[in-house]
Amino acid sequence: MSTIKVDTYLTRGGASEIAIDKLKGASSAGSMTIVGEGGSTTTNLQQGLNKQWIDMNQSAASIGDSFNTTSITDIDAGDFNVTITNAYANINYAMGVSGTNVSNGNGLVSMQGVVPTTTVYRLAGYLTNGTNMDLSQVKAITAGELA
């Protein structure tokens, strides 16, 4: 195995591009710290990434697009389980959700009152009057530590 050590990488002109199949932190397995946008702080690359997201249509019980999502399961009106492909290390992952109903625009979405697992969380679509309803546009994104 060869080792290349440099202090600065400069191109001879034109665009610079480095193709790498895998990056690994030197201090601990799988951990890499990068300098933040302002240059004065750092962030852990693995912890700073979104680990799963989904764009779904509850009315059609379909996934428009997703990342690290296995499937959705229709439980009841406006009530869906989302199954994550690669499990989280624990149930303390963060989530953001949004949604609406295209036909009248007064739909909302939230986590359903069921404790998530490391691979499944439940979303509830409902109208502003509290009635459960399958929404035409539901988006969710999660972040945390994968197992």
Average pLDDT over residues 15-34: 67
Burial of 143 (0-12, 13-18, 19+ CB in 10 A): middle
Digit-coded pLDDT (tens) for 42-64: 777 777 788 999 999 999 999 99
Digit-coded pLDDT (tens) for 74-120: 999 999 999 999 999 999 999 999 998 877 778 889 988 889 999 99
The 10 Å Cβ neighbour count of residue 53 is: 17
The whole model's pTM is what? 0.76
CATH architecture of 52-143: Sandwich (2.60)
Q: Where are the domains of the chain?
A: 52-143
